[in-house]
Amino acid sequence: MLLKKIAAVAVALGFVAGGAAQASAQDMSSVLESPNVNTCSREFLITIPGGANTASFLPEKAPVGPKVTPVAQRVHQRTGGTTQPVWITYPAVPFTLMTYTDSARAGYNDASATMRRLSRMCPDATFSITGFSEGAGIGAQLINDIAHDRGPIQKEKFRSAALISNPHLADNGGHFRAGATAADKGALETLEGGYGELGPRVLDICRPDDPICSLPDEWRRHVDPMLRVATLRGQMPITELAAIVAMRSPTTLPLLLSVYNHGQYGEVSYGEAVNWITAAR
């Protein structure tokens, strides 16, 4: 908690230095008052940043994550403050200090625990979810579990979700924007049962040239070794990775170059996400 308090002070000072104290959805006094959300709202927007976009010591009120913060802040503004963003802060260090699998599991556990806490604290509140990349994958898993009665909240409390570049993308029963369709599949495994009866409330925003949410079929069976990489811990299945590159050499470079597209979501995508979440109210 002390580390979160220190981080809260740093975040508040960052607002001032950046001249964003008035414009931010989470102003300096609010962040300093409590690192975590401790008051009820009509709705909570669970906001899950992507890999390398957050850290577990940051406060829940810290607006971090370049692809999710614009969505969260605009939803807060458009709803007159009745929708409260809650940033999920987790060890988003895949492929470096942690494997992707371990990092995503930690993010899921943090998000799930936060939703349970807020649901107990505010029994009348509803929940929406937004996330990018690793955060979108965590969000998709949450929706899958909520839909099949094993999640942190009852499905009656789930209102909507807008996921940007979801690595679990598939024919999950949701809606699509940015070009992808139900035929596209993300880099990670398909979620059994998809979004269930919650599918009509979910928007997946995915570019068909983004390999994270729309991976070419021939590369799908080569994902597992990458999920076991943690370079700073010396975990690198070099032999397996070298064999994959040799097998797929004609398409390796184009695939690597296409990762650039993963970062090209912008104002149009943010607007679609905001419209989707606010329309569900």
Measured between alpha carbons, how far is 138 from 256 in angstroms, rounded to an integer?
Answer: 24
Q: Tens digit of pLDDT for each residue in 229-247?
A: 999 999 999 999 899 988 8
In the chain, domain spans? 37-278
Q: Is the dihedral of CA 223, 228, 229, 235 positive or negative?
A: negative
* Per-residue pLDDT at 26: 47
Strand partners, 204: 163, 176
Q: Enter the pTM of the model.
A: 0.89
Between 267-279 and 69-78, two packed helices, what is the crossing angle to 10 degrees?
40
Q: Tens digit of pLDDT for each residue in 94-135?
A: 999 999 999 999 999 999 999 999 999 999 999 999 999 999
Cβ(48)–Cβ(107) below 8 Å: yes
Q: Tens digit of pLDDT for each residue in 37-62?
A: 999 999 999 999 999 999 999 999 99
**Second-level CATH architecture of 37-278:** 3-Layer(aba) Sandwich (3.40)
What band does 16 get if pLDDT is binned at 50, 70 and 90? Answer: very low
Closest CA to 226 of 90, 130, 134, 111: 134
* Per-residue pLDDT at 17: 40
Measured between alpha carbons, how far is 196 from 198 in angstroms, rounded to an integer?
Answer: 5
